Amino acid sequence: MDNAVILAGGQGKRMKADMPKPLFKVLGEPMLEWVIGACEGAGISDLCIVKGYRAEMIDEYLDGRYETVLQAERLGTGHAVMQAVPFLKKNTDGNTLILCGDAPFIDSETIKKSLEQHKANGNAVTVITSELDEPKGYGRIIRTADGISSIVEEKDATPEQKKIKEINSGAYWFRTADLIESLGHLTTDNSQGEYYLTDTIYVLLEQGKRADAFRSENPNVVLGANDRKGLLMLNKTAREDIISRHLENGVEFTCTDGITIGRDVVIGAGTQILSGTVLSGKTVIGSDCVIGPDCIIENSSVGNGTKLNYVQCYDSKIENNVKIGPFVQVRPGSHILDGAKIGDFVEIKNSTIGECTAVAHLTYVGDSDVGGCVNFGCGVVTVNYDGEKKSRCTIEDNAFIGCNTNLVAPVKIGKGAYTAAGSTVTKDVPADALVIERGEARIIEGYAPRKLKNRKKK
């Protein structure tokens, strides 16, 4: 079985943060996660992650999902892979993919195609390469009639070699047994005094084995970030790539200002995404929706024909032909059914809002089960927390909740029942009834002039 080793030991000093570089985020997800995703997408899930700088942060992030090894000292890429030898020895029959945890744009397609070539040609090592107009800083690929003869680091390269544009992306396929064998022969005899992983090529060629390169069609496979500016560039590249993929799928953008879409987000054709909208996590949006301006949708699903305007929505489900906004927050655990309307300054939390129900303005619905065709007046509050525990409200179909009603949970409003405006409802209301829970009106005649006299005295 094939496996992979991801190098994630780097610090990234120029980021000026106390964090391993692979944990810096591109479109809201750590670069390491992008690399892991590319492996998983290519069907490789037997992974070993080499950690170094602030290793405990890598552990905390991975939370036991994958095996890790510690590279206690940073002595080069070859040394980093040496730390994974015990992992590699568990299964020496297949091939091993080596990747950099801070080069997020390696893709599953490149991984799969390079493995095919690697196996078909019987290579001991296949280097994944890329052609760059500005190859400065990268290892240059020295091709021969029948493969490659070496990779020369910038610092070790002659002026002629520096002109070569095909560079080492830092990703490789090795026959696992050959990798283990060749690591044992590395030395630090180079300008940086490091164990270069790339020197395995000499070792393998000397043993009469094949070394070759696979040129990726994806020009971004090599991209990484050395500083915050570089990280911003990675975000920009990813953002544009993803938007162009959605354009191809029939999603409409009139401009892309402030629009950020996570790599796993799915959007149906005919949907319009307006400026300032951020879609992230496992969000799925249906067809013919209008999302934006300025929506934040995280880990949520939205049906077809739904319009969201200045909405923030987290871990929730919104169905078809729903209209929400402006200035609405839908908090985790909410489910908003077909045709519902939710208007300005409304918060919905952990609640179901039934079909065609209207919550038009200035209302809080928390921990509640609301039926269909319910009408909420302005300023309704479900009083779901007594300072100790949370309780639920149930509001059945066709109920009419008057303006400024407080529903003190747990309480149930039966089918078709009315609550009088300004009531603080503390008792269950049967179907079709009206509840009035407020003080009787008291009229005090001639009050104002007396009051005015006192104020004038003062």
The CA-based angle 243-115-80, given to 5 degrees, is: 90
Residue 52 found at the interface with ligand UD1 (CB under 6 A)? yes
Q: Contacts with ligand UD1 in 84-123 (CB under 6 A)?
A: 100-102
Q: Which of 33, 399, 140 is nearest to 382 (CA)?
A: 399
Helix axes 31-41, 108-120, angle to 10 degrees: 50
Residue 147 found at the interface with ligand UD1 (CB under 6 A)? no
Mask: binding to ligand UD1, 203-242, rule CB under 6 A, as x and -? -------------------x--------------------
Residue 353 found at the interface with ligand UD1 (CB under 6 A)? no
Strand order in the sheet with 418-419: 252-253, 272-273, 290-291, 307-308, 323-324, 341-342, 358-359, 375-376, 400-401, 418-419, 434-435
Residue 283 found at the interface with ligand UD1 (CB under 6 A)? no
CB of 223 to ligand UD1, least distance (A): 9
Residue 151 found at the interface with ligand UD1 (CB under 6 A)? yes
Nearer CB in complex with ligand UD1: 9/30: 9
Residue 75 found at the interface with ligand UD1 (CB under 6 A)? yes
Nearer CB in complex with ligand UD1: 227/257: 227
Nearer CB in complex with ligand UD1: 230/372: 230
Nearer CB in complex with ligand UD1: 104/325: 104
3-class state of residue 326 by DSSP: coil
3-class state of residue 98 by DSSP: strand
CB of 282 to ligand UD1, least distance (A): 27
Prior bond of 326 cis (ω within 30°): yes
Q: Which of 23, 31, 69, 80 binds ligand UD1 (CB under 6 A)?
A: 80
Q: Which of 88, 167, 211, 231 binds ligand UD1 (CB under 6 A)?
A: 167
Q: Which of 433, 368, 358 is nearest to 406 (CA)?
A: 368
Q: Contacts with ligand UD1 in 241-270 (CB under 6 A)?
A: none
Q: Which of 5, 50, 204, 348 binds ligand UD1 (CB under 6 A)?
A: 50
Q: Which of 68, 96, 123, 168 binds ligand UD1 (CB under 6 A)?
A: 168
Q: Which of 200, 117, 118 is nearest to 151 (CA)?
A: 200
Task: Say which residue the tokens 């296949």 belong to.
Answer: 126
CB of 132 to ligand UD1, least distance (A): 10
Tell me, by CB under 6 A, how many residues bind ligand UD1: 26
Residue 143 gets the label, from left (phi > 0), alpha (psi -120 to 50) or beta, of beta
Strand order in the sheet with 301-302: 266-267, 284-285, 301-302, 317-318, 335-336, 352-353, 368-370, 393-395, 411-413
Q: Is residue 118 annotated as part of the catalytic site, yes or no? A: no
| Runs of H (alpha helix) within 163-255 | 176-183, 200-206, 228-248
Q: Contacts with ligand UD1 in 53-72 (CB under 6 A)?
A: 71
Catalytic residues: 361
Residue ranges binding ligand UD1 (CB under 6 A)? 7, 9-10, 50, 52, 71, 74-77, 79-80, 100-102, 138-139, 151, 153, 167-168, 170, 196-198, 222
